Structure 1
Amino acid sequence: MVFHLDNTLGAAFIGVVVAAGLHGVSCVQAWWYYTHQNDRWPLKLLVAAVMVFDTVHQGLISHTLYTYLVTNYDNPIELSQIVWSLLVEVLFNGLTALLVQSFLTVRIWRLSNRNSWLTGAALILVLGEFVIVTSRFALYSTWWAPAYVALSLQLQTFAELTELKSLSITVNSLAAAGDVLIAATLCKLLHSSRTGFHRSDTMIRKLMMWAVNTGLITSICAIASLISITVAGNTFIYILFFFCMGRLYCNSLLATLNARNSIRGAADGVHTTSENLSLSLREFQPKNTTLSISSKRPNISIKIDTTQEFNRDADDVLSEAEEKFWI
């Protein structure tokens, strides 16, 4: 099998550099999260686990490129061999995607009032992707994942790695489908939660925007990897995108969690107070007689109380939607 360095190791090198930059962004976001957010311990544990898996993955792909470009520099024979870290990194990329997509699936579960059909559809895609990723361990090791991690895989060369092309296509297809389904479902559920009040609807629109953005970025990367492996399966262009998948999941999770204060602030900036309403009603009162003014006051009072009640209802709906969305 003939390799051209530009579209093989060159593409992988670009992937490692971009992934390293995104990892730096996720580290800053993680620091901001732990210093500015006061979440319950399960959510903090989720962020910690995602960061650990993401950091390990960055170390593994860096080891892969160091082995090829430094340790085995000017050694063409070794360049055709698979470094163990290139295989192990797939597991940690899969774990990162599993945690983030599971977190989003729990959002669907809560926002849909435990709708098993909506949640089940998303869960099938999420678990299906992870099972296929780990199926490489079953196919090429004797003791499932532990044996794989123990470097007992039978894959030795990149020529043998091309045998997994169908699995790679399936993984990227499920990843893209899962992200699109989760984002679309969240938007549909949030849209149905609208109250008609400007303040609550403002926040719901913000939440919908974040749901679309988090799913769109990872979906584009998965689709790019899918197209690359289908059109140019003998190159490492698809690996460039795959190296960045975990970083995008990690950054999407952290960006969403850290954006809560700004989203709440956007909603809090929209007020409909009873004071402003009472002033506008006075403008419609007749000013030529005292009797007409006094006769209208009870009606004004009733309208103000009704508006206050509606505002309280909108706040209740807003708080409920916010709690379910953020968990």
Structure 2
Amino acid sequence: MSFNSDIILGALLVGTWANSVLYTVEVIQGVYYYRHFKRDNWKLKLLVSSAIAIDSVSMIANYASVYLYTITHWGNLAYLENQYWPDPLYVFATGVVAALAQSFLTVRYWLLTKNKFITLTLFAFITVAAGGAFASGGALAIFPQYKDRAKATIPATTWLVSAAVTDISIASALLWEFSKLKSSFKETKSLRDRLDRLVAQTIQTGAAGATVALAVLIVFLVNKESNVPAGIAYILGRVYCLTMLANLNVRKTGHTWLSKGTISGIILKGNPVSRETPTDQENLSFVEDVESAGINSPRESPETSIKK
């Protein structure tokens, strides 16, 4: 076999090993979510189910690609010169999973701020990233030979840069709101410590997907014929799915967003929707609930909460 075949097979095989580890964690987190948060809104459950199902398709495509190269067509050098149906399929699926996870985070921001301009801007970034992913998958399907990989440079760059920018933008928008809330805390250190935990979680959320996406892009631009970027990209969908599940499972067991005992109708200071000024504790409680669940039942008005 040529040296290129070693790179093609080795990178993809290592990618499936990392993929296996992360997918196992994803399944465990998914089972935990469905067992402990049965009262979540059906829209949120549908989003989670869709993300896991589509991510599973991506995983199957990854394994199918490696199986075809290493088992079915082992030793066939002519076969190794091309990319086949599993490759565009996993790119399509990964783009959809990323869009779902990023939409989940963007809705969290909307629930916290009701800022239409920034929310629409974030969704525009998500659309560009998803379009880049589909364009990249289409380029692989139309130009399957490794020697034509350069033709996917523009869509792949658009996809990965947009995905990284979207992740960083969502995290930055949330951090900005948290900083405004933190500056309003006047009394206890415990409230600041709790908000610091949310800040750390938000940074990790934004950094995970962005780091993998940029790593894939850099390696791809360095050597377009290598499958090292493909091996790294194998885990991208898992990273996005795990990010969403981690944010959901951080809640206390059985706790549902805006469940009984949660202050309803409160958002950050400076954007009140209730007639009374919320306390620091109430503000932080609402933020933690939205940060934990993200999407659920519509926010109740103060009058509705009083009646209940």
SS at match of 1:235: coil
Confirm or deny: 8 A CA contact 2:175 2:199 kept in the other structure.
Answer: yes
Aligned partner of 2:283 in structure 1 is 317
Aligned partner of 2:189 in structure 1 is 198
Q: How does 1:3-82 map to 2 (within 5 A)?
A: 4-37=4-37, 38-82=39-83
Aligned partner of 1:163 in structure 2 is 151
SS at match of 1:48: helix
In the alignment, structure 1 segments of 5+ residues that lack a partner are: 141-152, 265-311
Confirm or deny: 8 A CA contact 1:91 1:134 kept in the other structure.
Answer: yes
Distance in 2, Cα, partners of 1:139 & 1:75: 24
Confirm or deny: 8 A CA contact 1:169 1:229 kept in the other structure.
Answer: no
- Decide whether aligned partners of structure 1 residues 79 and 99 sit closer, same or farther in structure 2, where only a CA change above 3 A counts: same
Aligned partner of 1:247 in structure 2 is 238
1:174 Cα offset (Å) = 0.9
Structure 2 length normalisation: TM-score?
Answer: 0.80
Code of the residue aligned with 2:95 in structure 1: it is: G
SS at match of 1:234: coil
Deviations 1:189-219 (A, max 9, x none): 1221232333433322211111110111111
Aligned partner of 1:187 in structure 2 is 175
State the superposition RMSD in angstroms. Answer: 2.1
Confirm or deny: 8 A CA contact 2:110 2:119 kept in the other structure.
Answer: yes
- Decide whether aligned partners of structure 1 residues 224 and 253 sit closer, same or farther in structure 2, where only a CA change above 3 A counts: same
Code of the residue aligned with 2:235 in structure 1: it is: C
Aligned partner of 1:276 in structure 2 is none
Q: How does 1:130-279 map to 2 (within 5 A)?
A: 130-136=130-136, 153-194=141-182, 195-196=185-186, 197-261=188-252
SS at match of 2:235: helix
Code of the residue aligned with 2:50 in structure 1: it is: A
Q: Percent identity?
A: 26
Distance in 2, Cα, partners of 1:21 & 1:138: 28
Whose helix fraction is larger, Structure 1's or Structure 2's? 1
SS at match of 1:4: helix
Q: How does 1:300-315 map to 2 (within 5 A)?
A: 313-315=279-281
Higher mean C-alpha displacement, 165-174 vs 195-204 = 195-204
Confirm or deny: 8 A CA contact 2:87 2:137 kept in the other structure.
Answer: no
Distance in 2, Cα, partners of 1:139 & 1:80: 16
Confirm or deny: 8 A CA contact 2:88 2:137 kept in the other structure.
Answer: no
Deviations 1:194-251 (A, max 9, x none): 3233343332221111111011111111111111011122211111221111000011
Higher mean C-alpha displacement, 167-176 vs 2-11 = 2-11
SS at match of 1:74: coil
In the alignment, structure 2 segments of 5+ residues that lack a partner are: 256-277, 295-308
SS at match of 2:202: helix
Higher mean C-alpha displacement, 6-15 vs 313-322 = 313-322
- Decide whether aligned partners of structure 1 residues 215 and 137 sit closer, same or farther in structure 2, where only a CA change above 3 A counts: closer
Distance in 2, Cα, partners of 1:125 & 1:201: 31
Confirm or deny: 8 A CA contact 2:167 2:206 kept in the other structure.
Answer: yes
Distance in 1, Cα, partners of 2:76 & 2:217: 31
Q: Which structure 1 residue ranges, 4+ long, deviate > 6 Å from structure 2? A: 137-140
Distance in 2, Cα, partners of 1:82 & 1:165: 16
Distance in 2, Cα, partners of 1:139 & 1:255: 33
Deviations 1:268-294 (A, max 9, x none): xxxxxxxxxxxxxxxxxxxxxxxxxxx
Deviations 1:18-46 (A, max 9, x none): 11210000000011111122422211111
Aligned partner of 2:306 in structure 1 is none
Confirm or deny: 8 A CA contact 2:55 2:93 kept in the other structure.
Answer: yes
Aligned partner of 1:282 in structure 2 is none
Q: How does 1:81-96 map to 2 (within 5 A)?
A: 81-96=82-97
Code of the residue aligned with 1:63 in structure 2: it is: A
Confirm or deny: 8 A CA contact 2:149 2:225 kept in the other structure.
Answer: no
Higher mean C-alpha displacement, 248-257 vs 120-129 = 120-129
